[in-house]
Structure formats: C-alpha cells, structure tokens
Amino acid sequence: MPAPYCYRCYYGLNYPSCELHCAEMIRKKLIEHRDRICGVILEPLVQGAAGMIVHPRGFLKIVRDATKETDTLLIADEVATGFGRTGRMFAVEHEDVRPDIMALAKGITGGYLPLAVTLTTEDIYSQFLGKYEEFKTFFHGHSYTANPLGCAAGISTLNIFEKDSILSHVQKISLRLSQRLNEIKDHPGVGDIRQKGLMVGIELVRDSKTKEPFDPSFKIGQRVIKKTKEKGVILRPLGDVIVLMPPLTTGEDEIDMLCDATFSSIEEVIKEV
C-alpha cells in the first residue's frame, strides 16, 4: 500500500480534508483480502530510510483498528523510532496503539553495541507453547542471542533514560529544533520539513511552488552534506532529503551548531545550482 506521504500524496489529496483516505484504503484492502492477509508491517509515525516520511496524525490508529476488525496482526518496526527518538519511549504511544509484534534495536543500547529484540503479546507467545511432540515450539535462535555485553549496554541505557530524564529532555530539545527549522521553511529550495521529536527530514526541491524535484544528477543531498562536513557536522542524506537525527542527549548549543551548519550549507548549495 502507498505510504502516507502527505507532501506528495499518492491519491493527490490534502490533509486533513482527505480524512485519511490512505488509511481507509488499507482498511478496505484488509477487509477485501482478510482471508489471505496475515498482518500489516509498518514503521509507526516516521518511515526512516524511505525519506523521513512523517505520517499524518490518526493514520496509525485507523490501521490498528482495521487490523483488529479483520483479525490480522499489526507489526510495528520501531527499530528507528523506538527508545525516545520521537519524544515518547515508543512511537506507537503517540496514538495509544499497542501492536501485536514490535521490532526494536538501535536505540536500545544508545547505539553502543548491537542488540535487537522482538516483542509480542502473551496471546501470540502462548501459541508456541505446548508439549514437545506437538512441535509448536518456535525453533529459532541466533548465534548471539542474549549476548551479555549487549544486554549490559541495553540495561545501562535504560538506566540513563530514567536517571537523566531523557524523554523530557528530548521533548524540550525537539521544541528548540522545530523553532530553528522554521527559519528555512520559506526558502524556495526547501519543499517540506518533516519532524517528529529528534527525527527530521528536509526535502529539497528545485521549486517549492511546483514541488519539482532537482535533477538527480545534481546529487543535491550529497552536495549539502559535503558542505556541512566542512563546518564540522557529519550528516547523511536520503536522496534529496537531508536527515537530522542528533543523539538524544544533544544540548541546545549543539542543536544550534547543527542547524547553523545545515541551513547555511543548504542556502549555499542551492545558490550554486
């Protein structure tokens, strides 16, 4: 199903007058094929590598209700959004949604060691319980399952979340970041700025009025990050989208440094091309 990418809506509609047609289409599809569909997998609220696509408010809730209605599973990939990135511990909390299965990694160790976890409901878990001869057991393991060093890094990270009130810090610093982002929203080369907590995508376009993209051969994103690097800020673009994903412990001064370097680089590069 098409992503709820409001800036370039697949259905050519506008939020909120669209009344979340994209989510309704998923609901329709689920009802139509409920006997063949096992579940819906999505990245809740923000699709990271797809271009920092921030979903419109209410989308997730409709999809959750539709999966319940059709007895299909909701599988949330919170590898990128989980552990405070969006201002809540998990992105699904923004819409009071509880998925059936949730995939987590990255932020669980603050990025210090690789660790991932799959959570599920008691209901699903219990489907794998039974006598040995029933072969219900989920015979699956990893070489490094429950790696003690990885788990220790995870526990330390969770302790820091509590001890240093990381979530409230993220909420505070995200506000600072959105204030700063306002400074470039009217720039003719800036098409869309998408933010949820400390996840930001700045979509650059040739013409913000028509939303016409840059010629891919310009490698506009690459050019911008080359310039920010000269200013001491290492970023990564996703095509023409400049990604800002600072550490959750980032301070105000660092937000300013990040924004100063990014905005001036965008302005300089757009002037050049």
Ligand X SMILES: *Cc1c(COP(=O)(O)O)cnc(C)c1O
Interface contacts to ligand X, rule CB under 6 A: 43, 48, 77, 79-80, 105-106, 116
- The three-state (H, E, C) secondary structure of 187-219, written as one string: CCCEEEEEEECCEEEEEECCECCCCECCCHHHC
In angstroms, rounded to a whole number, what is the distance separating the alpha carbons of residues 123 and 130?
Answer: 13
Shorter beta-carbon distance to ligand X: residue 106 or 206 = 106
Min dist CB 77 to ligand X, Å, is 5
Q: In the numeric block, which tokens belong to residue 12?
A: 């050519």
- Nearest residue to 97 via CA among 149, 25, 40: 40
Min dist CB 269 to ligand X, Å, is 26
Shorter beta-carbon distance to ligand X: residue 79 or 102 = 79
Shorter beta-carbon distance to ligand X: residue 191 or 197 = 197
Shorter beta-carbon distance to ligand X: residue 82 or 191 = 82
Q: Determine what percent of the chain falls in helix, strand and coil, rounding each to the nearest 5.
A: 40, 15, 45
Min dist CB 46 to ligand X, Å, is 9
Min dist CB 182 to ligand X, Å, is 27
Min dist CB 245 to ligand X, Å, is 10
Shorter beta-carbon distance to ligand X: residue 41 or 175 = 41
In angstroms, rounded to a whole number, what is the distance separating the alpha carbons of residues 84 and 172?
Answer: 12
Min dist CB 173 to ligand X, Å, is 21
Shorter beta-carbon distance to ligand X: residue 196 or 227 = 196
CA dihedral in degrees (116, 237, 181, 199; nearest 10)?
-10
Shorter beta-carbon distance to ligand X: residue 87 or 191 = 87
Whether the Cβ atoms of residue 102 and residue 66 lie closer than 8 Å to each other: no
Whether the Cβ atoms of residue 237 and residue 224 lie closer than 8 Å to each other: yes
| Burial class (CB within 10 angstroms; exposed 0-12, middle 13-18, buried 19+) of 234 | exposed
How far are the Cα atoms of 166, 248, 273 from residue 226, in angstroms, in the given order?
31, 24, 15
